[in-house]
Structure 1
Amino acid sequence: MDNEKRAADPYSERLWVPLWWWPIAFAIAGLLAAEIHMGAPGVRAWLPYALLFPVPVWVLLWLSRHRVRVHGDASGTPELHADRAHLPVNFVSRAAVVAPTAKSAAMGRQLDPAAYVQHRPWIGPMVLLVLDDPDDPTPYWLISTRHPERVLAALGLPSAG
């Protein structure tokens, strides 16, 4: 059932950490384990490696847990899911792609404190969705995604940027 649901989604993306982080994380865990080991015999020879090598796997998988997904709700209206939050497209008045070069400005002084932000520093582009909902105090959403044009196309929104 879950695979059928995913196949029907117009867009789905998991925000994985870069692949080059994995060897670095294992190298750090190996250095820490070797520091604890320090040539000692017995349990201290293998226990640090057994205990520390699962840590970078858990940390990197935990950092990669977020998803960006677009699918239709019960009425067929596209809906954006950014992790646990969801936004029906009928509440979006404008949408734009935030280029990696403009990301620091969008996340800096120009950022409204009431905005919903799902930012991943290892992903360059973002999607800006300006809301038009009088009952919601959130002015806009800023969502990290590797393919912002595909997200906007799946939502059926024209890109303004």
Structure 2
Amino acid sequence: MQLSATPYEERLTAPRSWWLLSLLVGVSMALILVPFGTLALLGGLVGGTAVAATVASSYGSVRIRVVGDSLIAGDAKIPVSALGEAEVLDAEEARAWRTHKADTRAFLLLRAYIPTALRVPVTDPADPTPYLYLSTREPERLAAALAAAGKAAA
């Protein structure tokens, strides 16, 4: 396997505010368990915070990578040769492609807390997916990595 000229890897981590919310979930659980005593209160604080933090961490653990001649986005892996030219979407255009312009057959790696995205048409005639919508904080860099991987594969 040949590595791409412009390697790319991004983890779509949850925003810092989600970690504060995780703590607040723990505090809420502690308050719910106040009538059962101090030990239950501490258990609610620790358990509620841990569960909420685990959920935030798992939701924010998804990665987008360009490895060799493949794009790996979450659970999907697609060869770059089956993709068209990537389109960088600013916040307004990304919102449009998440809502009224969206195609139900498209592959969406959507994280609402990331305002920008990349839309990549799927050119493989055997694949019913019309395009990939990838939430990314660095759409220009991802587009450049896909273009470099496409040239290297050709």
* TM-score under structure 1 length normalisation: 0.81
Conserved 8 A contact 1:9-1:69? no
Residue deviations 1:53-92 (CA, integer Å, cap 9, x gap): 21121111111121000110xxxxx311001111211112
1:55-70 equivalences in 2 (<5 Å): 55-70=51-66
Conserved 8 A contact 1:127-1:142? yes
- Taking the aligned partners of 2:121 and 2:17, their CA distance within structure 1 comes to 34
Q: Which has the higher helix share?
A: 2
- Taking the aligned partners of 1:99 and 1:45, their CA distance within structure 2 comes to 45
Whether 1:83 aligns to 2:74 is: yes
Conserved 8 A contact 2:90-2:117? yes
What residue in structure 1 maps to residue 48 of structure 2?
52
Letter of the structure 1 residue corresponding to residue 114 of structure 2: I
- Taking the aligned partners of 1:112 and 1:133, their CA distance within structure 2 comes to 17
Whether 1:112 aligns to 2:103 is: yes
Gaps of 5+ in 1: 1-7, 73-77
- Taking the aligned partners of 1:70 and 1:55, their CA distance within structure 2 comes to 32
What residue in structure 2 maps to residue 124 of structure 1?
115
- Taking the aligned partners of 1:42 and 1:71, their CA distance within structure 2 comes to 51
Letter of the structure 2 residue corresponding to residue 60 of structure 1: A
Aligned length: 144
Distance 1:92 1:32, change over 3 A: same
Conserved 8 A contact 2:30-2:41? no
Deviates most, 102-111 or 40-49: 40-49
1:1-161 equivalences in 2 (<5 Å): 10-38=7-35, 40-41=36-37, 43-72=39-68, 78-156=69-147
* TM-score under structure 2 length normalisation: 0.84
Identical pairs, percent: 31
Gaps of 5+ in 2: 149-154
Off by >4 Å, runs of 4+ in structure 1: none
Conserved 8 A contact 2:26-2:46? no
Greater length-normalized contact order (CA 8 Å, ≥ 6 residues apart): 2
Give how far 1:97 is off.
0.6
